[in-house]
């Protein structure tokens, strides 16, 4: 059964104060790359405190941001007031988006597919809400292709989700996208932060997928 609510008060505050900030390491450039060229009506799932909002291009006519965690939803609403973009912040989960079929020209996720309880249900919901030909933009941390590091991620996964809002450091998200009916159109893999060694969420992918 899809999750109907997300409530992680401690993680939400930790995220807002520590991770949900540009720390001058270049992640703002990654976020701009994620969102570059978007237009029309865009749905962002799991925006957290709205860290991406300032990076949307002016060609986006409306941004609908669906955030289930109450504290982060409040922070996203505050952020929405301070950007020159029409943003509607809604309650909902990835597997139950409060939107009609074919509502979005594009859907955006950043650091979210690691945390959803049921990735196949979320991806089916993304396909429902995307219009035919619409694109899924993703920036996610993933399972390492290096077997030793992947085993380390598996070990960390025994405790990490308990303190990080359900985040699994070891998900093979590209395989999940393909199994979920998405074709990866563009993707690049890299480590971020580049100088981190033992951080379990360093392997990242950023790209575009389409249903089909
Ligand atoms: C690590 S934060 C990432 C926030 C932001 N997208 C970013 O780029 O930094 C994970 C986000 O996913 C949200 N989330 C967790 N489970 C979710 C679900 N089932 N559906 C939608 N969002 C979810 C969390 O509330 C949180 O806002």
Residue 1: per-residue pLDDT:
43
Residue 212: per-residue pLDDT:
77
Residue 180: per-residue pLDDT:
97
Beta-sheet strands, E only, within 16-93: 40-45, 60-66, 87-90
Residue 22: per-residue pLDDT:
78
Nearest CA to ligand 1 atom 7: 110
Per-residue pLDDT of the chain in tens (212 residues, 90 and over written 9): 456 789 999 999 988 998 888 777 889 999 999 999 999 999 999 999 999 999 999 999 999 999 999 999 999 999 999 998 999 999 999 999 999 999 999 999 999 999 999 999 999 999 999 999 999 999 999 999 999 999 999 999 999 999 999 999 999 999 999 999 999 999 999 999 988 889 999 999 999 999 97
Residue 2: per-residue pLDDT:
52
Kindly give the distance from the C-alpha atom of residue 21 to the centroid of ligand 1, in angstroms, as a whole number: 14
Residue 145: per-residue pLDDT:
97
In the block, which residue shows the tokens 């720390």? 23
Using CA atoms, how far apart are residues 106 and 7, in angstroms rounded to an integer?
A: 26
123 Cβ below 6 A of ligand 1? no
Tokens describing residue 128: 């429902």
Beta-sheet strands, E only, within the chain: 40-45, 60-66, 87-90, 104-110, 130-141, 182-191, 203-211
Kindly give the distance from the C-alpha atom of residue 26 to the centroid of ligand 1, in angstroms, as a whole number: 20
Residue 172: per-residue pLDDT:
98
Using CA atoms, how far apart are residues 100 and 92, in angstroms rounded to an integer?
A: 13
170 Cβ below 6 A of ligand 1? no
Query: Count of residues for the chain?
Result: 212
Using CA atoms, how far apart are residues 200 and 149, in angstroms rounded to an integer?
A: 8
Using CA atoms, how far apart are residues 126 and 109, in angstroms rounded to an integer?
A: 10
């Amino acid at each position: 059964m899809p999750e109907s609510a997300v409530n992680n008060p401690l993680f939400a505050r930790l995220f807002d104060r520590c991770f949900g900030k540009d720390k001058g390491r270049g992640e703002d450039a990654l976020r701009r790359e994620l969102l570059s060229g978007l237009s029309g009506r865009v749905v962002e799932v799991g925006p957290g405190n709205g860290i991406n909002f300032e990076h949307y291009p002016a060609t986006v006519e409306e941004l609908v941001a669906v955030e289930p965690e109450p504290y982060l939803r409040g922070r996203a609403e505050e952020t929405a007031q301070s950007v020159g973009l029409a943003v509607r912040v809604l309650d909902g989960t990835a597997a139950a988006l409060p939107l009609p079929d074919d509502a979005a020209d594009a859907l955006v996720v950043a650091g979210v597919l690691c945390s959803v309880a049921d990735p196949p249900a979320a991806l089916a919901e993304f396909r429902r809400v995307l219009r035919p030909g619409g694109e899924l933009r993703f920036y996610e941390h993933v399972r390492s292709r290096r077997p030793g590091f992947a085993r380390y991620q598996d070990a960390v996964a025994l405790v990490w989700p308990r303190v990080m809002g359900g985040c699994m450091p070891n998900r093979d998200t590209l395989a999940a996208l393909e199994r979920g009916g998405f074709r990866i159109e563009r993707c690049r893999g890299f480590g971020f932060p580049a100088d981190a060694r033992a951080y379990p969420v360093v392997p990242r992918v950023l790209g575009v997928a389409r249903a089909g």
